[in-house]
């Protein structure tokens, strides 16, 4: 038996001709069902009048048939075009978007699909008079993520709805809404041991601004470091002679970089309703107010605060090791992190082991793990990272209150078990030196900064 390319089944010529004629009719103006029914009704009245010799019936159907046959089909080609908007916007902003409507000749009524101000997207259908102009609406981007913010579907109708053009699916305008940034006060981070230039004071001597010590001059010291006041006092004590033994120099602390690594758990997205944990949200990537939504907002806010402070910030995706962002500084790094947060949030799988290796974290970096901590594997990798000498801070994203599943009698028991296991994991991490902070209340960002400040003091 031989194998080869699959044989294509050819359609009959009659079917192909019918489909082609149907496509031609749908591409332009076409008669509606109302026009066809009126013609059939008028022709039926005339036929019945002729058969039954009822002149009044024939006279009733004749004007209807003649008038409909003389109805002119519109010749214009309506169009609805929208201006290209920005590909990236910040959450919390609003803007005015509009479409240009050209109904053409013969159109009287238009049905245009436009989004509302509170819900960007496809939107409902609006019935408007067919006229040249621009239709505008103001959109507010309250939720972050990727999607369609405008798709102007349209349909045009002639007088009495006898002919229609469309419906036509408009060109979808897509965009990326970056996570919002909450104002946070950053706390000082432990400096990297390998950094020699940065915004934080190191314990080693270097070319910083803060005075470390005053010591005698040694071979290799620069002349601009000489402290002439101490040198003159020392020379006066030995008789006023400026000898090499009287020279003293100022020794300063070196300024080092500080690295902050944000490890976000993108494997799970849980909300207050326990019954919806396994259900994928409809029409969006993440649940509004869920653990992943809180984690992305917290990561974006923390990254913005510490990058503004001059530190280096990186991102680790615990569910997808290749989806992280290496540590960097500057405004471009913040944009990279925000775009990557939107991209990683679309790949929630609900399973898999977390990946947080020692090699992913730069030497001397502070690690902030953001997760609801619903599995023991993440607790193990967090504790293992702490035992290697890392400064680790755990941000708990579990909702403060959980609603039991009312469709089963075991709903309340499930919530109790989940709460007990969650509290046990948090206590286990705290027992190994991991500081745990809940993010679901106001002032959590300031609490994170205060904990990092205390941690820096202990490290120094």
pLDDT value, residue 315: 93
Q: 269-303: per-residue pLDDT in tens? A: 888 888 777 766 554 567 777 888 888 999 998 89
- Residue whose tokens read 């709903």: 411
pLDDT value, residue 26: 55
Going by C-alpha positions, the residue among 202, 197, 263 that lies closest to residue 459 is 202
pLDDT value, residue 250: 79
| Structural domains in the chain, sorted by start | 13-69 (no CATH), 79-178 (2.60.40.10), 201-256 (no CATH), 259-459 (3.40.50)
Q: Which residues contact 78 (CB under 8 A, 6 or more apart)?
A: 101, 102, 103, 104, 107, 110, 130, 154, 156, 165, 166
Considering the chain, what percentage of its residues have pLDDT values greater than 70?
A: 79
User: How many angstroms separate the CA atoms of 370 and 345, rounded?
Assistant: 13
pLDDT value, residue 19: 56
Assess contact for 299 and 245: CB atoms under 8 A.
Answer: no
Token duo for residue 365: 């970096």
Q: 333-378: per-residue pLDDT in tens? A: 999 999 999 888 776 666 678 888 777 888 878 899 999 998 889 9
- Reported confidence tier of residue 171, pLDDT bands at 50, 70, 90: confident
pLDDT value, residue 211: 63
> Please, what sign has the CA dihedral across residues 350, 355, 360, 366?
positive
pLDDT value, residue 337: 93
- Reported confidence tier of residue 197, pLDDT bands at 50, 70, 90: very low
**205 compared with 305, residue with greater pLDDT:** 305
Token duo for residue 323: 């989806």
Q: What is the mean pLDDT of the chain?
A: 78
pLDDT value, residue 441: 58
The burial class, CB within 10 Å (0-12 / 13-18 / 19+), for 319 is: buried
Q: Which residues contact 407 (CB under 8 A, 6 or more apart)?
A: 275
Assess contact for 261 and 361: CB atoms under 8 A.
Answer: yes
Considering the chain, what percentage of its residues have pLDDT values greater than 90?
A: 10
Q: State yes or no: pLDDT of 266 exceeds 80.
A: yes
User: How many angstroms separate the CA atoms of 342 and 179, rounded?
Assistant: 7
- Reported confidence tier of residue 41, pLDDT bands at 50, 70, 90: confident
Q: State yes or no: pLDDT of 403 exceeds 50.
A: yes
Q: How many H-runs (helices) and E-runs (strands) does the chain carry?
A: 9, 19
Q: State yes or no: pLDDT of 1 exceeds 50.
A: no
Given phi > 0 = left and psi -120 to 50 = alpha, else beta, which region is 296? alpha
What is the DSSP track for 14-45? Answer: HHHHHHHHHHHHHHSEEE-HHHHHHHHHHHHH
SS3 385: helix
pLDDT value, residue 257: 62
- Residue whose tokens read 């995706």: 317
pTM, two decimals, is 0.70
Q: State yes or no: pLDDT of 235 exceeds 50.
A: yes
**135 compared with 40, residue with greater pLDDT:** 135
What is the DSSP track for 148-175? Answer: EEE---EEEE-GGGSEEEEEEPPPPEEE
pLDDT value, residue 195: 46
Assess contact for 122 and 170: CB atoms under 8 A.
Answer: no
Average the pLDDT over 148-172 and give the result. 85
pLDDT value, residue 345: 76
- Residue whose tokens read 């079917």: 15
Containing H/E element for 95? strand 94-102
For 102-116, 182-196, 228-242, which range has the lowest pLDDT when averaged over its residues?
Answer: 182-196
Q: How far is residue 166 CA from its own chain's centroid?
A: 34
- Reported confidence tier of residue 223, pLDDT bands at 50, 70, 90: confident
Rg, the chain, Cα only: 36
Q: State yes or no: pLDDT of 132 exceeds 80.
A: yes
Average the pLDDT over 383-394 and give the result. 87
Going by C-alpha positions, the residue among 303, 295, 360 that lies closest to residue 335 is 303
User: How many angstroms separate the CA atoms of 382 and 402, rounded?
Assistant: 25
User: How many angstroms separate the CA atoms of 234 and 282, rounded?
Assistant: 79
168, HSE (Cβ side, Cα atoms, 13 Å): 22
């Amino acid at each position: 038996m031989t194998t080869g390319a699959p044989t294509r089944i050819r359609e009959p010529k009659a079917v192909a001709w019918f489909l082609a004629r149907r496509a031609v009719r749908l591409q332009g103006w076409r008669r509606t069902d109302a026009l066809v029914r009126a013609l059939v009704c008028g022709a039926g009245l005339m036929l019945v009048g002729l058969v039954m010799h009822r002149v009044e019936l024939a006279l009733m159907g004749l004007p209807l048939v003649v008038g409909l046959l003389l109805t002119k089909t519109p010749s214009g080609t309506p169009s609805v075009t929208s201006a290209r908007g920005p590909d990236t916007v910040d959450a919390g902003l609003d803007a005015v978007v509009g479409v240009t409507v050209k109904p053409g000749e013969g159109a009287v009524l238009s049905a245009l699909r436009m989004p509302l101000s509170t819900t960007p997207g496809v939107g409902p259908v609006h019935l408007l008079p067919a006229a040249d102009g621009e239709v505008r609406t103001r959109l507010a981007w309250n939720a972050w993520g990727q999607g369609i913010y405008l798709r102007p579907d349209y349909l045009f109708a002639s007088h009495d709805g006898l002919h229609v053009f469309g419906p036509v699916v408009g060109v979808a305008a897509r965009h990326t809404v970056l996570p919002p940034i909450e104002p946070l006060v950053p706390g000082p981070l432990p400096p990297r041991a390998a950094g020699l230039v940065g915004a934080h004071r190191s314990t080693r001597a270097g070319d910083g601004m803060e005075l470390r010590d005053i010591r005698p001059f040694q071979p290799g010291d620069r002349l601009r470091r000489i402290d002439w006041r101490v040198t003159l006092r020392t020379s006066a004590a030995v008789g006023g002679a400026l000898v090499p033994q009287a020279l003293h120099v100022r020794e300063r602390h070196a300024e080092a970089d500080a690295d902050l690594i944000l490890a976000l758990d993108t494997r799970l997205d849980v909300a207050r309703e326990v019954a919806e944990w396994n259900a994928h949200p409809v029409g969006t990537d993440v649940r509004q107010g869920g653990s992943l939504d809180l984690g992305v907002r917290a990561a974006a806010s923390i990254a913005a605060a510490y990058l503004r402070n001059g530190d280096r910030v990186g991102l680790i995706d615990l569910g997808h090791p290749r989806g992280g962002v290496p540590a960097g500084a500057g405004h471009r790094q913040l944009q990279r992190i925000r775009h990557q947060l939107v991209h990683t949030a679309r790949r929630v799988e609900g399973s898999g082991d977390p990946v947080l290796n020692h090699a992913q974290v730069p030497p001397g970096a502070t690690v902030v793990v953001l997760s609801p901590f619903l599995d023991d594997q993440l607790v193990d990798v967090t504790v293992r990272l702490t035992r290697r000498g890392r400064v680790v801070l755990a941000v708990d994203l579990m909702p403060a209150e959980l609603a039991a599943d009312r469709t089963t009698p075991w709903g309340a028991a499930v919530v109790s078990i989940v709460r007990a296991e969650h509290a046990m994991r948090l206590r286990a991490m705290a027992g190994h030196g991991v500081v745990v902070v809940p993010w679901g209340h106001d002032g959590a960002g300031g609490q994170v900064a205060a904990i990092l400040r205390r941690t820096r003091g202990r490290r120094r």
